[in-house]
């Protein structure tokens, strides 16, 4: 029950993903340390397989979960960068999403969020990166 209330509390703060350019992605990535020894965010992400939407379009996406205790205090934010590349010679699509977290007390609860995108027939490579305002990151490809 506590978990459901927290998800409901955070959901109005979650904005929609926006289509972006490779240059804007490079600018956002400049905020993320490239050193592998830097601290990583504790998070788990899982892909959502494509399903047919009510508008008869294939929609895929991801869901990620993270311990809220690593964001204790006010003023924290998360940025999600997603690159979806169709198999073949077509260009990748870059998506960005920024999440502003409310002031979070010390807790052992998890936060959860996600995103989606439309796809067509074929195979796709997805590169996903989550990073916070302190430069910590979490990455996955599928």
Among 137, 135, 77, smallest CA distance to 127 is for 137
- pLDDT-derived band at 22 (thresholds 50, 70, 90) equals low
Among 136, 100, 98, 119, smallest CA distance to 47 is for 119
pTM (predicted TM-score): 0.75
3-state secondary structure of 121: coil
- At 90-139, the pLDDT tens digits run 889 999 999 999 999 999 999 999 999 999 989 999 999 999 998 899 99
> Which CATH fold would you assign to the domain 2-141?
Immunoglobulin-like (2.60.40)
Beta bridge partners of 124: 86
- Domain spans, the chain: 2-141
Characterise 10 by phi-psi region: left (phi > 0), alpha (psi -120 to 50), beta (else).
alpha
- At 35-91, the pLDDT tens digits run 666 678 999 999 999 999 998 999 999 999 999 999 999 999 999 999 999 998 788
3-state secondary structure of 134: coil
């Amino acid at each position: 029950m506590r978990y459901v209330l927290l998800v409901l509390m955070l959901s109005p703060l979650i904005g929609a993903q926006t289509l972006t350019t490779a240059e804007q992605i490079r600018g956002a990535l400049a905020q993320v340390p490239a050193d592998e020894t830097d601290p990583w965010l504790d998070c788990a992400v899982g892909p959502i397989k494509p399903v047919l939407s009510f508008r008869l379009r294939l929609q895929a996406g991801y869901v990620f979960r993270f311990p809220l205790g690593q964001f204790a205090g006010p003023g924290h934010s998360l940025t999600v960068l997603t690159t979806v590349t169709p198999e073949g010679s077509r260009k990748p699509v870059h998506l960005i999403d920024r999440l502003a977290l409310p002031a979070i007390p010390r807790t052992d609860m998890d936060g959860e969020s996600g995103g989606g995108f439309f796809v067509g027939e074929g195979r796709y490579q997805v590169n996903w990166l989550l990073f916070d305002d302190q430069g910590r990151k979490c990455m996955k490809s599928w």
